[in-house]
Amino acid sequence: MICDLRFPICDFKPKTKNRNSKIQERGFTLIGLAVIIAVMGIVLMTVSRVYSTMVKRDVEEELLFRGDEIKDAIDSYFKYGTMYPKSFEELLKDPRGVNPKKHLRKLYQDPVTKGEWDVIKDKAERIVGVRSKSGEEPLKKAGFSDEYKTFEGKTKYNEWEFISKPISIMP
């Protein structure tokens, strides 16, 4: 563009757009923005669904671990004195014998409810096992290892019972 200030005639023409084309451009921008927001919403929904599934799988693994720890502690308590404990405190510090024995390192909470376990007792009111108090549906319903074959087909976490079955009795 060449323009000499001495001469009033300049060699440029200002570009003018009509009003309708500006409105059309704004409309196109809004539609594009709406599409981008919709796609982001779909992606975020998918990510949150995948994340919640991962969290639920982790909780199930933790339930299996903690239930096993408690069941193994009850087995150990039984093998040590041929009777089941009356309370979880006896698993933490076994009062029988000269040297107190710890069958359970710490008292675990139910990872699903983040609270207390539902305690399974025998006829003598002694603890033989635990289960979750949750009535939620588990993700895993099949494909369990031999140790958990009884969990196959269960539709709620509170049906997963960790019951002591000591194999042999120590002298």
Tens digit of pLDDT per residue, the chain (171 long)? 555 555 555 555 555 555 555 556 666 788 888 999 999 999 999 999 999 999 999 999 999 999 999 999 999 999 988 899 999 999 999 888 788 889 999 999 999 999 999 999 999 999 999 999 999 999 998 889 888 999 999 999 999 999 998 765 444
Contacts of 148 (CB under 8 A, 6+ apart): 64, 160
> Whole-number mean pLDDT of the chain?
85
> Are 155 and 141 within 8 A, CB to CB?
yes
pLDDT digits (tens, 9 = 90+) for 65-89: 999 999 999 999 999 888 999 999 9
Q: Please give the C-alpha separations between residue 64 and each of 68, 107, 168, in angstroms, as whole numbers.
A: 6, 15, 23
Please give the Cα distance from 99 to 80 (Å, whole number). Answer: 12
Domain boundaries, the chain: 29-163
User: 73 burial class (0-12, 13-18, 19+ CB within 10 angstroms)?
Assistant: buried
- Interatomic CA distance for residues 122 and 166, integer angstroms: 14
Tell me if residue 162 falls in helix, strand or coil: strand
pTM of the predicted structure, to 2 decimals: 0.72
Q: Using H for helix, E for strand and C for coil, what is the string for 88-138?
A: HHHHHCECCCCCCECCCCCCCCECCCCECCEEEECCCCCEEEEECCCCCCC
Distance, CA of 52 to CA of 59 (rounded, Å)? 10
